[in-house]
Amino acid sequence: MEIPSPPSGVRFIDDYLVYLLARAAHQVSSEFHEQLRRRGISVAVWRVLSALLGSEGETVTGLAETCLLQQPTMTKLLDRMTRSGLVARSPDQRDRRVVRIALTGTGRALAEDLAVAAKAHEAELLARHPPAEAEAIKNLLRAILARHDRPRRG
């Protein structure tokens, strides 16, 4: 038998933009994250690997911002990824405060491998929508990002 659902008539969150976005992000990524889990790769590690694809030489702070993590969290994550041979740190020439992060050979191979799977998954996702809608999704998201980007340096 089924546990009778609570009177889930008008939940606040069902019409709350921030929740809809969070839920959509979660749902859409869950299938791929499941693939990662099966391979023993954490979401955080995947984020760093993918952030470095096409843009190596990122700084620790830059990676943290890209991966939506705090800087100390990124420092510790990079410690682990360095230990497991996926990335390497190197000092910046011009500014000795800065540490540049690069993929190792192993790291790049894994990143590219996962990226293929990620793109395949994305194609599947988009295929579930009518073409016009699929088209609209990324554009709308970019519009949101553009309008709500916090003031950035540069």
Q: What is the footprint of a second copy within residues 54-113 (CB under 8 A)?
A: 54-59, 62, 66, 68, 92, 94-95, 98, 100
Q: 34: burial class by Cβ within 10 Å (0-12, 13-18, 19+)?
A: exposed
Q: Does 37 bind a second copy (CB under 8 A)?
A: no
Q: Which does 12 bind (CB under 5 to 8 A by kind): DNA, a second copy, none?
A: a second copy
For the bound state, the minimum distance from the C-beta of residue 59 to a second copy, rounded and expressed in Å, comes to: 7
Q: What is the CA radius of gyration of the chain?
A: 19
**Quick one: tokens of 23?**
């839920």
Cα–Cα dist 72/61, whole Å: 9
Position among 40, 128, 132, 151 found at the interface with a second copy (CB under 8 A): 128
Q: Does 29 bind a second copy (CB under 8 A)?
A: yes
Contact 71, 61 (CB under 8 A): yes
Binding window for a second copy (CB under 8 A); candidates: 74-82, 83-91, 141-149: 141-149
